[in-house]
Structure 1
Amino acid sequence: MKVGHILYKVNDLEKGVEAFRKEGFTVEYGTKKNPYNAVIYFSEGPYLELIGNIKLPSFLNFLMKLFGKGKVVERIYNWHYSEEGLIAVCLENYKKDLEEEKSVLKKYRQKYFERNSKRLDVKNRLLKFIVLFPDELKIPFLMTYFNINPKPENYIHPNGIKKIKSISFGTNEELIPLINELCDDKTLQLFIGEGVKDLVYEKV
């Protein structure tokens, strides 16, 4: 797997989009109607996802906990109440399923929640993918890459940035072998601790 995208929490999506645009990034909303996120794509490597209101409705919280999916609720709760800034890393593969990755999680006795998902983006592309949330919150969440590639070709942002060079992810020492087995991407820099930090861009 590779680093697929990095979540950046914003308290106000519209203001967050405007702030990144002022910094010279090309930003597009994730959906046409009632957007909850926006994306900054790069031609190569991971993209940046700005995410606003991600709080689950109360009834969905109840159902998830009722069916033993409380760890997913906890992960999303933590995202929602995080301060503005980097909050999560997603690892992605380029297959149609996550079977190989699930076998790695099972090898390390890690439970998870998996679901099919989709969204219609601003260019009317129906992006389909599978997302998987490990119960262990110090393991990045996982996705299959979109069925359609939404990234622009040979694109450089107006500020001269061409890609994300590296990102640091904090975890427990005993989880490092698992994450390394899942991900062979040198973009991901692991450290013992908590949080996501030290996002480094590469300019032309």
Structure 2
Amino acid sequence: MRCSHVLVWVEDLHRAVRDYRHLGFEVEYATDARDARHAHVWFPQGPILELLTTPGHAGAFRWLIDLIAGRGAGRRMAGWGGNGEGFCDVAVVSASAELDPVLRDLRRDGLAVGRAVRWVRRRPDGQRTRFQFAYPVEPRLPFLVSPYDPPQHPTVQTHRNGACGIARVRLGVAAGDEAAMTRLVDDDPTFALEPAAVTGVKAVELAGLHHELDPLLLHGAVIRRAREQSAGLAATAVCSNCK
């Protein structure tokens, strides 16, 4: 499976959207801006950034979320804002539009996962976007999504700051999570797995970025220019494919 999107939890979505736009990103609300809880930074291909917020009382609905999506789902979603603003999760996308066969394979390999949830999101332009998602029981691990139907990547996307794609997601992996993490991210070169005390996204590196970004406007996320030495050919490949 490949990296789909990196989630950044923010206290105030509208403020975060303004700040990311000020940093030179094109940011689109996932639904009508008046009641949106998600916004996206799209690239022509590959993984994207998702800004999201959650209700302050989300923890009260953990049991209901578990009922819908399976054991552990409520703990994961309620915990997105538990550590304040910044990276809170990461998703991997399957090649299949149906997640059930993928989940069966994961369970057979000993990975505890919830059920596939079918979801429909209405975009600001009224178009319906369909997809499925499923959460591993352990909230530290990436969750799964199916490809969007219809596909959502724009043919052309120009960010004023020059960013043309995510070249690298630096993912800390705690002792004991290595096997499950390797099984989920497979051989996706976007991920750079690094030993860490706590499993989770540590940094995102962007190809094409003209300059480093003001950390005060990133709402806790560590987003920086791709380093040629560490990203290898990834940054070059991302940008050449986005031209």
Regarding TM over 0.5, the answer is yes
Structure having the higher strand fraction is 1
Q: Distance in 2 between matches of 1:93 and 1:185?
A: 12
Please say if 1:200 is aligned against 2:205.
yes
Question: Cα RMSD over matched residues?
Answer: 2.2
Q: Answer whether contact 1:104 1:181 (CA < 8 A) is retained.
A: no
CA–CA separation in structure 2 for the residues paired with 1:145 and 1:47: 13
Q: What amino acid sits opposite 2:19 in the alignment?
A: A
Task: State how far apart, in whole Å, the 2-side matches of 1:93 and 1:18 are.
Answer: 32
Matching residue of 1:96: 97
- Residue by residue over 1:40-75, the C-alpha shift from the partner in whole angstroms, topping out at 9 and shown as x without a partner, is 1000110110001255373x4333457994511111
Superposed CA deviations along residues 86-132 of structure 1, whole A, max 9, x for unmatched, are 11110002321124431342133222222111210112221111100
Counterpart position of 2:170:
168
Equivalent residue for 2:184, pick from 179, 182, 185: 182
Ranges in structure 1 where 5+ consecutive residues have no aligned partner: none
Deviations 1:6-54 (A, max 9, x none): 0011110010000000000000111015101111100011011000125
Query: 1:22 corresponds to which residue?
Result: 22
Q: TM-score, normalised by structure 2?
A: 0.76
Contact 2:10–2:81, Cα closer than 8 Å, also in 1: no
Describe the SS at the equivalent of 2:11. Answer: coil
Q: 1:139 to 1:92 in 2, by over 3 A?
A: same
8 Å Cα contact 1:24/1:159 also seen in 2: yes
Structure 1 residues 202 and 148, CA gap change in structure 2 (3 angstroms): same
Alpha-carbon offset, residue 196 of structure 1: 1.1
Residue 69 of structure 2 contacts residue 135 of structure 2 at CA under 8 Å; is this kept in 1?
A: no
Higher relative contact order (CA 8 A, sep 6+): 1
TM-score (structure 1 length as normaliser): 0.89
| Contact 1:9-1:82 within 8 A present in 2 as well | no
Q: Which amino acid aligns with 2:162?
A: G
- Structure 1 CA distance for aligned equivalents of residues 163 and 66 of structure 2: 42
Equivalent-residue separation in structure 2 for 1:67 and 1:35 (angstroms): 21
Q: Secondary structure at the match of 1:74?
A: helix
Secondary structure of the equivalent of 1:189? strand
The count of corresponding residues between Structure 1 and Structure 2 is 203
> Taking structure 1 as reference, are residues 95 and 74 closer, same or farther at Cα in structure 2, changes over 3 Å only?
same
Cα distance in 1, alignment partners of residues 126 and 134 from structure 2: 25
SS at match of 1:130: strand
Instruction: Work out the CA distance in 2 between the residues paired with 1:138 and 1:201.
Output: 23
Distance across 1 between alignment mates of 2:65 and 2:29: 28
- Residue 40 of structure 2 corresponds to 39
Q: % of aligned pairs identical?
A: 25
Structure 2 unaligned segments of length 5 or more: list them: 209-238
Q: Counterparts of 1:16 and 1:102 in 2: how far apart (Å)?
A: 34
Q: Deviation string for 1:152-179 (max 9, x for gaps)? A: 1132311111001111222334433333
